[in-house]
Amino acid sequence: MNPLTVPPLMSGGLMLSYQCSSTCRHCLYRCSPKRENIWMDLEDVKRVFAALKRERLLHGIHLAGGEAALRFDYLLDVIRLAREMNIPLDYLETNASWCSDPDRSREKFRQLREAGLPAVLISCSLFHAEYIPYERTRIGIEAAQDVFGPGGVLVWQPWVMDILERLPNPQTTATWEEICAAAGWTTDAPQIPQSYGITPGGRAPQALRACYPLEPPEAFRHQICRRILESTAHFHIDPFGNLFTGLCPGIAPGRVGNLHPRITPEAFPAYWSLAEAGPFGLMQYARDAYGFEPDAAGYAGPCDLCQQVRAHLLDTAPEVHPELRPAEFYKDE
């Protein structure tokens, strides 16, 4: 069997922290205010940027969290560093929780632009509105458009604004029931994850469980994950330097220092198993070698099964599976 490796990186995000002002139900990286208050220090950011500069196909980097603007001056330093090092910075991803006042928001966006930020992505979803008053999202979008121009602001996803306009009180956070009612959906509607294109990984399989039909592991026996795991078109590097490819958090054979390791079944058995045999194959491996018992209730999707099997492997044999990191990703918060 020929070893695998991580292909050249193309475009991705630098997660400065798992700390967030929000605990969104759909968060793939399970960010939250309860996460440890750990941020990538500037020396490490410099190391990441230096490593990324060696990537011959890299054409874009965005800055993300958690919520990167929680440490605003530090964020300015990271942007300045990106400019100094000629990193192709695309945008900052923010949930706009800090945009409570139009003038102050404009001033902060101005500072970000002057530091070297070219554009902003503002998250707008049903899930954010449980933690962030919709009013702040609206203020953030308008203030960012004033500073960066309409072409410099991407709202993700804009159709949700029409729904959130119907909330009883946009100045405060809303309950999940109020948000679903504004959309015209019950809280278990399958349209909730479908309309937002949510991968049932991260927090979604638990927090939106009612919206998914649960299926047995056999239902996913035909999914093989090599192509997904080898996708570097939207990679992420977390504050610990772990490299996640293909929107698969919590599994990182590559790290800053060695972004393209030699991947063999001996070195990274969980990754190998997923690449060759998908989540069902990983489950068989975990059942045979480490006593994994599938949940009779079923799984919300292949990534739900994958994540639960990986959590079991990390619990029972962490030394055999160094690619399952960081450990805190697997804590249910």
Q: Nearer Cβ to ligand SF4, position 68 or 228?
A: 228
Please list, in sequence order, all residues whose beta carbon lies within 8 angstroms of the beta carbon of residue 253, skipping any fewer than 6 positions away: 6, 261, 263, 267, 268, 271, 322, 323
- 58 scored as a contact of ligand SF4 (CB under 6 A): no
Q: How many residues bind ligand SF4, per CB under 6 A?
A: 11
Choose the binding region for ligand SF4 from 126-134, 144-152, 164-172, 301-309 (rule: CB under 6 A): 301-309
Shortest approach of ligand SF4 to residue 76 CB, angstroms?
A: 34
Kindly state the helix (H) or strand (E) to which residue 107 belongs, with its residue range. helix 102-115
Residue 228 touching ligand SF4 (CB under 6 A): yes
Q: What DSSP character marks residue 123?
A: E
Report the b/e string of 167-198 with b at 16+ CB within 10 A: beebeebbeeebbbbbbebeeebeebbebbeb
The DSSP secondary-structure symbol of 89 reads: E
| Site track for ligand SF4 across 260-299, x = CB under 6 A | --------------x----x--------------------
Helix (H) or strand (E) holding 239, with range, is none
Q: Which is nearer to ligand SF4, 33 or 294 (CB)?
A: 294
- Residue from 65, 201, 205, 261 in contact with ligand SF4 (CB under 6 A): 201
Q: Is 24 in the site for ligand SF4 (CB under 6 A)?
A: no
SS3 122: strand
Residue 225 interacts with ligand SF4 (CB under 6 A): yes or no: yes
Asked whether position 306 contacts ligand SF4 by CB under 6 A, the answer is yes
Reference 313, options 294, 285, 275, 280; nearest CA is 285
Task: Give the separation between CA 70 and CA 59, rounded to whole angstroms.
Answer: 27
Residue 302 engages ligand SF4 in binding (rule: CB under 6 A): yes
**Residue 70 or 282: which CB sits closer to ligand SF4?**
282
Structural tokens at position 7: 């292909």
List 70, 117, 248, 256, residue binding ligand SF4 (CB under 6 A): 248
Q: Give least dist CB 215 to ligand SF4, A.
A: 13
Nearest approach, Cβ of residue 229 and ligand SF4 (Å): 6
Q: Does 139 bind ligand SF4 (CB under 6 A)?
A: no
239, 16 Cβ separation under 8 angstroms: yes
Nearest distance, CB of residue 314 and ligand SF4, angstroms: 14
Q: Is 303 one of the binding residues for ligand SF4 (CB under 6 A)?
A: yes
- How far the first Cα of the chain sits from its last, in Å, is 38
Supply the DSSP string of 185-200, one letter for each residue. --TT-THHHHHHT--S
Q: Is residue 253 within the footprint of ligand SF4 (CB under 6 A)?
A: no
73 is written with which tokens?
Answer: 């001056």
- Which positions touch ligand SF4 (CB under 6 A)? 201, 225, 228-229, 246, 248, 274, 279, 302-303, 306
